Every structure is written in C-alpha cells, then in structure tokens.
Amino acid sequence: MSLLKLSGLTKFFGGLQAVSELSFEVQAGEILGLIGPNGAGKTTAFNLIAGFISPSAGEILFNGENIGGMKAYAVTRKGIARTFQIVKPFKKLSVLENVTLAAFLRFPARREAEAAAGRILEKMGLGSKLPALAVDLTLSEQKRLEIARALATDPKLLLLDEPMGGLNPTEIDQASKLVRDICRGGVTIIWVEHVLKAIMNVSDRVVVINYGKKIAEGTPEQVVKKPEVIAAYLGTKKR
C-alpha cells in the first residue's frame, strides 16, 4: 500500500478549477517532486493534502485512510507536516521556542520538547542560533527553521513548498543535501519547486501538473523528454 494516494482530487474556486482530477501515489521512503508552471495548482494541491482547504471532489488516502476535508491540525497529528512557500515563522519567538512549540505535539513536557527541538535544530545547522528571534534570521535560515518546525511534529510525510525559492546556488546545494538527509532519516517527501536543477537531482520521481491536471509522471530523466512538459514550460512552436 502506498503512503499517500490521491484519486480524482478536484478543487474549484468559484468557476476556476484549480486542481482537476489529480491522481498520483507516493511510496514510503521516496522523494517526489511536484512541478509545473506558475498557477498550475501545486500549492493548492498542498493545501488540500495538508487540510488547509477541503476538496470539492476526490479522495486523499493517507495510510489507507481518507483524510480529505480533515482540519489542518488533525492532518498534522496524523503525521503529515508542511512548510509554507512564504515562510511563516513565529516571528517574535526565539528559534528554539519556534521548534519547541511544534515538538509539544509529541512531547507534552517542556523539557523533553526543548531537547527534541534542540536536536532537530542542530541537524538543520541552526544549533548556534537557538536564542535568536526568528525574525532576525536570514531567509535561508528561516527556510531551514520552517523545515525544522515541520520535522518537530515527527511526520511520516513532509510537504515542502518551494524550500529553495530565493536561495543562492551554494545554499541550494546545501538544501538539496538536507532534503536527501531528511529522507534517509525515514521521512517521505513531496516537494514543490521552481528550481528545476535541484528537483531533478534530488527527486526519485516527478509529477508534472499544468492547469490543475497531471500531464506527466516518471523519473526526472523520463519527464523532461516528454513533449507535453516541454510545451508547458516553453510554449508550443507556432506553425
């Protein structure tokens, strides 16, 4: 059984069909890249899986259970964590407090929650920033804080929404390594990204969507050769 299975997932915003009959599966332990041009419905798909909006139709099966329409906090408790495309740290709290709040979900006692948060932050390379206020971090650090906070809820599935947007090439290489490390640690990852080089290097499989529909699926090498994908990204040749 796959860890996550979307079947016929559909979302209307008024007359606009933002996600349309989207179906794909994610196996435990893999990194799945979700790509597509701007406005293709990637973030909407994330919001549907994470429970921030409820589907108009279709199913989201997580470990065989339909979680479509569940509230976001309930989805997180089931074991799906997410990051936001535009980072949303608890700005006026410290780095350690940001992650401790998330760790409370699995460790109700403050001391244990803080210890768990400290371990995760160390792994994310933020070990020296524990007392700093989240608002004072650089963008790259805030992106890692966002991932650390998601990891502190001890997820089985992690949804990363453009973790590399706005990073420089060096930071992108570091972030790529980090994503692979997280996956090796036993967390399955779905990853939305515009930095194609990174996603092609890191992902096991890629799903391409456009206008809310899946137009291609396969290994990175297979997907980039498909004419539909090239058309979606570069446009079609005029006759």
Partner 1 sequence: MRKILPAALILLLLAAPWIIAKPFLVHLMIMVLLWTVLGASWNLLGGFTGQVSFGHATFLGAGAYTMMILYLKLGLDPWYGIVIGGLVAALIALPIGYLCFRLRGPYFALSTLAVAEIIRLIALNWESLTAGPVGLLITTLPRVTFWGKAINWESKTPFFYLAVIIALAALLATAVISRSRLGAYLLAVREDIDSAEAIGINTVQVRVAALSLSAFFAGLAGGFYALYLRYIDPDAVFSIALSVEMVFIAVVGGLTTVAGPLIGAVFLVTLGETFREHFLVGHLIFYGFFMMLAIRYMPEGIWGKVRLWIKKPATLGNSS
* CB of residue 55 to partner 1, shortest distance in Å: 17
| Least distance to partner 1, CB of residue 48, Å | 14
Place of tokens 């079609």: 236
Of 159 and 206, CB closest to partner 1? 159
Q: In this structure, which long-range contacts are made by residues 11-16, counting pairs with CB atoms below 8 Å and at least 24 apart in sequence?
A: 11/41, 11/44, 11/48, 11/53, 11/55, 11/56, 11/212, 12/56
Among the listed ranges 20-28, 68-76, 180-188, 207-215, the one in contact with partner 1 (CB under 8 A) is 68-76
Residue with tokens 């291609």: 216
H helix or E strand, kind and range, residue 225: helix 220-225
Contact 97, 90 (CB under 8 A): yes
Signed CA dihedral, 3, 224, 166, 120: sign only:
positive
- Pick the closest to residue 172 from 196, 203, 148 (CA basis): 196
From the list 4-12, 103-111, 177-185, 206-214, the region that binds partner 1 by CB under 8 A is: 103-111
Q: Which of residues 31-60 bind partner 1 (CB under 8 A)?
A: 50, 52
Closest to partner 1 by CB, 71 or 177 = 71
Residue with smaller CB distance to partner 1, 107 or 233: 107
| SS3 labels along 32-47 | EEEECCCCCCHHHHHH
Kindly identify the residues of this chain, within the stretch 139-158, that bind partner 1 according to CB under 8 A: 149-150, 152-153
Nearest to 57 by CA among 20, 9, 6: 9
Size of the site for partner 1 (CB under 8 A): 30
Only one of the segments 18-26, 102-110, 191-199, 227-235 lies at the binding site for partner 1 (rule: CB under 8 A); that segment is 102-110
Q: Which of 54, 57, 71, 122 binds partner 1 (CB under 8 A)?
A: 71
Interface with partner 1 (CB under 8 A)? 50, 52, 71-74, 76-77, 81-82, 84, 88-94, 97, 100-102, 104-105, 108, 110, 149-150, 152-153
